[in-house]
Amino acid sequence: MTSFPSALSASNLARQATLILLFAALLIAIPCGIHAQQQDETIITDTSLVQLNVGVVDKQGHPVTTLSSNDFAIYEDGVRRPILHFEPTDAPFSLVLLLDMSGSTINFRQQIRTAATRFLDALSPEDRVAVVEFSGKGVKSLLGFTTDRNKVAYAINVLATGAGETPLYDALKYSLKELAHEGKRRKAIVALTDGLDTEARNSDRAIISKASNAEVSTAIKAEANSEVVSVLNTSDREGVTIFPLALPSGDPKRLPLPDPSITAMYGAARTRLQLMADRTGGLAFFGNNDISDALRHAQDDGRFAYTISFYPNHGNWDGKFRKIKLEAAGSGLQLRYRQGYYASPDRSDPEKAVSIELQQAADSPLDATSLSLIISGKADGPLSARKLDLHIGVDPKQLLLQNSDGHRKGAVDLFFLQRDDTGKSLEAEKQHLAVNLDEKQYEFLSQAAMVFDRHITVDAETAEIRVLVRDAGSGALGSILISATSVRLSAPIIFALYSRLSVSLTVISSAASVTCALVRM
């Protein structure tokens, strides 16, 4: 969290007058730019079905393709469950080829392109492939799902390019969202990447900076990263298998200077790739310079996988992990599948799932940084019943908005958590807001910020307030921690988190308000 005192010299005020007026106009324009949506017709679906993609090989590692549903037995927490749906091995699948075009993979571009192109030869005519790249310019779809192999090859060999940062988890979430539109087909993501997600490395670096020399190697809890958890929960819901093909540039053993901190961050990145493969029933390939061979194995595993579904009977969607055990008739068979799932409430109550996700992010000691935020606020009233007026600014270009009838539509969730000095929760408030912007409004707000106003009463025992914003379209989160010291001041103050934005702040102080402007976002 960064705090900016509300002070501005006369010369700065004159120089930035235009930006001040822009933001003032923005505050006036917001009410007509964001509309509360009428509740759409509710379609109720049974989403508690658990789907598994199961790969079976013999002792020699050859795929076994002749099994039927009667050859399998499935157990959840030790209790056998009936198989509701069984899909044979020759079913086509939808696959995202996810290409890491960040700066760290430049020396492996030709290998990536050659291997990905050869990979196409092993696909069946009915398989649908999409190509997505990610780099310092963000996540970009090069080609939507298609069976046209020439278009896929063109996207791989001509369109794919880039440099800069590595938004791996953003790319995975984007790919999962695209796969959600592919119906009941078998789904997979093949990610050619070194795994060195930029935001995860920044979080890991912050953790290591607080660790002693003796704790550096174990300080990072790779599985606790909120972005990884989000990817795993979504893949769990959608039944998507992830195959990470780790490029040598992310290998901690290849570091020229094996600094303990850097080695720990590289190791955490590799652990997360393995975790995604294990949780989704895929395979992770490490230390393999033959990317083509790794892709072939990934394709074989996707091709010769059974899809098996069952309904849980525990009726307790409390977010806890449920173990799955699968057995198959036959001697020496090896089964590969995800070993369980989290009984997330969103399978039966999506609204409750969002609340739990926001609560978990609020409980994290680190700020969520997928969304960049700027918040201005002013406290007023006695300490026993202090009011806090907040203006929460978000760049709309960060949100996943859908184009519909000339409007950009989506939604955000706001969450406010007050805690005392022992960490005990005192108050928690959640608000869901629809976003509906025409193109002129969207362009205007993109030059400054889209602002949400919120007025909260601060408990007398409150030591800190965590403010979270969640993009309902992508699940991306941003959060800022406001200390009690700031809340107890009468002067206006600004809190900012802008890890991905180039931001210039202008602050003007008066008895009544704080005004800020964001530029070059």
Rounded to whole angstroms, the Cα distance separating 98 from 112 reads 11
**In 329-372, at which residue ranges do the beta strands (DSSP E only) sit?**
334-336, 340-342
177 phi-psi bin (left φ>0, alpha ψ -120 to 50, beta other): alpha
SS3 string, 320-332, reads: CEEEEEEEECCCC
Q: Which letter does DSSP use for residue 44 in this model?
A: -
The ranges of the chain with pLDDT < 50 are 1-47, 346-349, 496-521
Superfamily of domain 91-303, CATH level 4: von Willebrand factor, type A domain (3.40.50.410)
What does the pLDDT read at residue 383? Answer: 57
pLDDT at position 385, please? 62
Tokens of 240: 């998507």
- Reported pTM: 0.55
- For residues 392 and 454, the answer to whether their CB atoms sit within 8 Å is yes
Q: Which of 507, 83, 117, 5 is nearest to 324 (CA)?
A: 83
Average of per-residue pLDDT values in the chain: 75
Strands across the sheet containing 305-310? 85-87, 305-310, 50-57, 334-336
- Residue 405's CB is within 10 A of a number of other CB atoms, namely 6
Euclidean distance between CA atoms 327 and 83, whole angstroms: 12
pLDDT (0 to 100) of residue 3: 33
Amino acid at site 137? K
Cβ–Cβ under 8 Å, residues 246 and 286: yes
Q: Quote the CA–CA distance of 374 and 2 in Å, as a whole number.
A: 10
Strands (E), 369-492: 373-380, 386-394, 402-404, 407-419, 425-438, 450-458, 464-471, 477-483
* Contact call for residues 174 and 474 (beta carbons, < 8 A): yes
pLDDT reported for residue 16:
33
CB atoms within 10 A of CB 248: 17
Separation CA 341–CA 324 (nearest Å): 8
Tokens read off for 33: 């730019």
Q: Are 134 and 100 in contact (CB under 8 A)?
A: yes
Burial (CB count within 10 angstroms: exposed 0-12, middle 13-18, buried 19+), residue 318: exposed
Q: What residues does each domain of the chain span?
A: 2-39+350-515, 49-89+304-347, 91-303
Rounded CA-CA distance 241/238 in Å is 9
